[in-house]
Amino acid sequence: FNIELQKSGKMEVISQLAASVAHEVRNPLQVTRGFLQLIGSKNIQLNEKNYMALAINELDRATEIINDFLSFAKPQKEEMTNLNLNEEFQHIIDILTPMARQNNGSFKVHFNGKLWIRGVSSKFKQAIINIIKNSIEALPNQGKIEVFGYIYLEEVYIVIKDNGEGMTEDELRQLGKPYFSKKDSGTGLGLMVSFNIIKSMDGDVEYNSVKGKGTQVTLKFPMLKI
């Protein structure tokens, strides 16, 4: 199943994302502020603990949104460089291993030789982390995530395979649409961000999935000859 990436400029993508994150984070922050104000007021009648729990939930939500958007975006380091995928994935796996362990999942990485592509390291990592986070969240007990990297016809392929809950055709069609989420506390923004970044790198993404069996994500990037 192929996802057609729309064409749009890099600045357009960035400003669209920035506007969206500002809007999304404002809501939980305002709700939290309201709760704190209530707690601080003298004539509070409801259980204060309820308000605190709600406020904490809202703050967690704000954090989740920021994580999906720009946990790796460092404004001062936006230049494209030559990315060594072996190194990039070392970082990515290090970051995600604690989360995978919590869900009783494990990683296996199979890279065929040295793979180089062109891109902004922080953005690339954000794009991949959002994709792999979904795999982790979809895992059953004893879940497995495998990552393959190889060159085929002068292009660099990255395949991410999980044995998680999988998706229906209808769910596949909606991937990357802002706010599409099947999760109780999902943002529905992770893949929109990933797809935009991949597009800005002249990359391509394809999802294959079978409900109840698992999901395979195939990424393709122009190969850098070093």
Q: How far is the CB of 124 from Mg ion (least distance, A)?
A: 17
Q: Is 147 in the site for ligand ADP (CB under 6 A)?
A: no
Binding flags for Mg ion, 171-190, as an x/- string (CB under 5 A): -------------------x
Q: Is 140 in the site for ligand ADP (CB under 6 A)?
A: no
Residue type, 226: I
| CA atoms of 226 and 223, how far apart (whole Å) | 9
Could you say which of ligand ADP, Mg ion, none residue 150 binds, taking C-beta under 5 to 8 angstroms by partner kind?
A: none
Strand, helix or coil at 109? strand
> Which of 13, 21, 115, 167 is the binder for ligand ADP (CB under 6 A)?
167
| CA atoms of 26 and 218, how far apart (whole Å) | 34
Q: Is 216 in the site for ligand ADP (CB under 6 A)?
A: no
Q: Is 164 in the site for Mg ion (CB under 5 A)?
A: no
Is residue 185 exposed (0-12), middle (13-18) or buried (19+ Cβ within 10 Å)? Answer: exposed
Interhelix angle 121-138/48-70, nearest 10 degrees: 130
**C-beta of residue 33 within 8 angstroms of C-beta of residue 58:** no
Question: For residue 130, what is the enclosing H or E element?
Answer: helix 121-138
Using the rule CB under 5 A, give the single segment among 41-49, 73-81, 134-142, 203-211 that binds Mg ion.
134-142
| Residue (83 or 189) nearer to ligand ADP, CB | 189
Whose tokens are 């190194």? That residue is: 87
> Which of 138, 156, 197, 201 is the binder for ligand ADP (CB under 6 A)?
138
The residue ranges that bind ligand ADP (CB under 6 A) are 130, 134-135, 138, 162, 164-167, 171, 175, 180-183, 186-191, 215
The residue ranges that bind Mg ion (CB under 5 A) are 134, 190
